[in-house]
Structure 1
């Protein structure tokens, strides 16, 4: 188990992390999510041992993870950290970068593992290309394979797909997170992209204002977001009063409603005037405004007409689910 206990950190007296506590089981896949600047990358560097702790402790099983004040070469040997700087050798080939840490005394195993990792990052055809000739996204894939070649017990990933185009991201996510699960590697990924989180992680920690503001299973946080900040990390969302959603209600308590949870009607529901729409491929994301000037974002299967009045509905099941969650908190 990785234990992060009462960790705080500041840059030049500016607090970045405040009393962070986490428990991460061996082989578990965990996401740390939050807005830019919330401390995700800093926390990964501290976990790896690249920074000295001002307060708190970190342990992998019973072994403390200490910073550069204690080790000439910082970084725990059983852990690998892939930052947004790839740290590759630019003037040697892709396969040489990947096999750099594999033993030359077992050439057949070296070749097999290198070929496996090349296939996983979908760069077999580029095996003999020098790294400095590759795009940023391709270099990021090589960096991923390079750290995996070292068989870490724990892998820390900082925005691991940020340089890749959407054409590659989905298959690479499946390849890489599947490989990590199959090989029993504990993984912590810092990301702002919920596509890295919902399909592939076992647990999520949400950072905001230097603290862990929520934690849980990804689908539970998605289905029952505590507030608009958490919901917005998973998609377009609204914070709406019950009496707006259901005119007969006598409460102004607000709940979270995702854009996709609205249904458009021509006859009844919340009256809104369409102000703008954005094509999203499978649907349109629309901006509507109520008579009181409240803005609501909703999905529509067809392009809504700007300045037209339409009606929005939310299922009672969704409303009751969010109200029940509020009661339990």
Structure 2
């Protein structure tokens, strides 16, 4: 179990993390999301021991981890970290990189390497030099290398940022299935809500160095505490209570507004085809409103909207 207690950190005079407290049970997958510069990567660096917290404690199974000021070589044996800059040996092969820390006396060494390359769909590149790989391929090799020693906690910083969209979903499924099978905890900093919704049990929302929400992912998404949180997942509407005659203002995603015979009237400004439906941008009282429609709607058309909630 990983536990952070009142962690604070500052670069020079700019306070980056403020009183961060967090508990992650073994086998739990947690996403950390927030705007750029909110402290996501710094948080991972402190957990792994690359940076020293100015205040607070990092505990692993109730034992304090002392951090960068107390270790010549950063990192902890029970954790592996895949940062945005991959720690790979460019002039050696994919096979040699993944097997770097596996004993050559291990009879099952080759099968272990092949198993991990299957997880990240890189078996076909086993004999390729890392320097010849694309950014996305290097990222997949870095993930396999981190898993080679079966850490108890995997730290990922923007883990799929370099990977082609058509490959991301399959890779996510394989990776998180593997982590579940091996009971490996995961703390992943990401800006991509698709990394979060289907694959992480819990989600941390960060803003300006602080945790403003930490709940099961379905709750964070389904009942966002504020517009900022909702905006990390999709376009978002803050609908004044007067528009739908509700007790309070409502935070609504585009799919939660539908065209109806009555409700509040908007004028269509833009219409974007998105495959399964259209994202419509409309105006009411000069305020933008986002909703979805199965059919295209003409620019300038007036429609009434109501909530499905």
TM-score bracket relative to the smaller structure: over 0.9
Aligned to 1:13: 13
Shift of 1:234: 1.4
Q: Which residue of 1 is the match for residue 278 of structure 2?
A: 284
The answer on 1:263 being equivalent to 2:262 is no
Summarize the alignment of residues 1-329 of structure 1 with structure 2, pairs less than 5 Å apart.
1-107=1-107, 109-246=108-245, 253-265=248-260, 267-290=261-284, 292-315=285-308, 318=309
Question: In structure 1, what is the Cα distance between the partners aligned to 2:286 and 2:88?
Answer: 53
The alpha-carbon deviation at position 155 of structure 1 amounts to 0.7
In 2: Cα distance, 1:138 partner to 1:264 partner? 44
How far 1:307 sits from its partner (Å)? 0.8
SS in 1 for 2:70: coil
Secondary structure of the corresponding residue to residue 230 of structure 2? helix
Shift of 1:67: 2.1
Q: State the secondary structure of the residue aligned to 1:143.
A: helix
* CA deviation map 1:279-318 (0-9, x unaligned): 211111111011x222101111122100111121212xx2
RMSD: 1.2
TM-score by length of 2: 0.97
1:113 touches 1:149 (CA, 8 Å); kept in 2? yes
Q: Distance in 2 between matches of 1:296 and 1:193?
A: 23
Q: 1: CA distance between counterparts of 2:215 and 2:155?
A: 19
CA distance in 2, matches of 1:196, 1:295: 28
Q: Quick one: distance in 1 between partners of 2:136 and 2:166?
A: 11
CA-to-partner distance for each residue in 1:259-278, whole Å, 9 max, x for gaps?
0111123x432211101122
- Superposed structure 1 runs of 4+ greater than 2 Å apart: none
The 2-side partners of 1:245 and 1:99 are apart by 60
Across the two proteins, how many residue pairs are aligned to each other? 309
Deviation at 1:207, TM superposition (A): 0.6
TM-superposed deviation, 1:176: 0.4
Q: Shift in Å at residue 114 of structure 1?
A: 0.9
Report if the CA contact (8 A) 1:30-1:188 is conserved.
Answer: yes
Q: Which moved more, 1:235-244 or 1:137-146?
A: 235-244
Deviation digits for residues 148-205 of structure 1, max 9, x if unmatched?
0121111100110000111110000000011011001111111111111111112111
Q: Distance in 2 between matches of 1:118 and 1:57?
A: 36
Q: Which runs of 5+ in 2 are unaligned?
A: none
Report if aligned partners of 2:59, 2:65 keep a CA contact under 8 Å in 1: yes
